[in-house]
Homo-oligomer: A and B are copies of this chain.
Amino acid sequence: MSDKAPWITFRPELKVLDCTIRDGGLVNAHQFSDQFVRAAYCTCVAAGIDYMEIGYKNSPRVFPKDKFGAWRHCDEDDIRRVVGDHDPVKTGLKLAVMADAGKSDWQTQLIPAADSVLSTIRVAYYAHQVSEAVDMIYHATELGYEATSNLMAVSSITEEEIDTVLEAIAPTPASTMVIVDSFGYLYREQVDRLYHKYSEALAGTGKEIGIHAHNNLQLAFANTIEAIILGCNRVDSTLYGFGRGAGNCNTEILLGFLRNPKFNLRPVIEMIQNHLLPLRKELDWGPSIPYHITGQLNQHPRSAIEWREGATPDDFLSFYDKVVSEV
């Protein structure tokens, strides 16, 4: 039993990434008004947040522009329309986008970093796509971006697959390897095991470990602070937990936990009150019983999302019976 209380001090190297627009956009096909995205941007700046993930850099062939909003593709002009000639030094905020293996025209969609307001490309991929992910990381880095490695759905693959991914990622210039709990399935011990596995495999490479948690079991914040305690220095969260399905670690709770005085909770609460609360009346996200059920079964939340969007969103018992019968 330590006599220290580490929860009242802070690590200056810990960086927060707010992915509200990117992950929340999965709820509304990224159909945000410019006003909403600008408010989120101003909030991130005012709150002292380190990174804002402003959307996906995904292919308009896969996600047609008549069905998906601008934040699914993040064309430079669209971003600049909202953030102007964003300056990461003056604002203290870096802008990031996520590019998926298999869903991005990354060879043609990325412009040189010197011509972009973006600083960071987060490369998201499933284990079987790691070779493309490695190419994407090199490509983004050569264009002058920081690139990160986001292995999705890590709870659904074997130890050997994880080891193989880590071996492939270790020599790349990715700045960060993110523990991504896509299904909201992980318990603390599993976060611990993954953290140690990732950090041992990447020792000496200078890479940071990140955490991206989902809230199916009301564990997103708990797993995030667990990862922080272990040593994760890249932490994802969203305003009011806005994100696909059960949503994410709440930025407002996370900032209240972090003791770095550069963070400011007040603009986050203001943004939630003015923009997220009204949105929550239109859109469904956050922990609810269908997400608990898929989370505990280590399933993609797809079936729960469909149920919540269907005719009987509160008929939890029929959803439970359906899922249990299909396992």
Contact = CB atoms under 8 A, between A and B. Distances in A.
Contact of A225 (B188, B256, B269, B296): B188
Contact of A269 (B187, B265, B289): B289
A320 B266 contact: yes
A319 to B, nearest CB: 9
A61 B315 CA distance: 43
B269 A320 contact: yes
A273 interface: yes
A300 to B, nearest CB: 17
Given A189-B7, A229-B189, A218 B317 contact: no
A217 interface: yes
Interface in A208-260: 215, 217-223, 225-226, 229, 250, 252-253, 256-257
A311 interface: no
Contacts of A106: none
A277 interface: yes
A37 interface: no
14 contacts: A6-B189, A7-B187, A7-B189, A215-B218, A218-B220, A218-B253, A219-B222, A250-B292, A252-B289, A265-B320, A266-B317, A266-B320, A269-B289, A270-B317
- The 8 A-B residue pairs with the shortest CB-CB distance, nearest first, are A222-B222, A256-B296, A273-B316, A218-B221, A269-B316, A269-B320, A270-B317, A1-B196
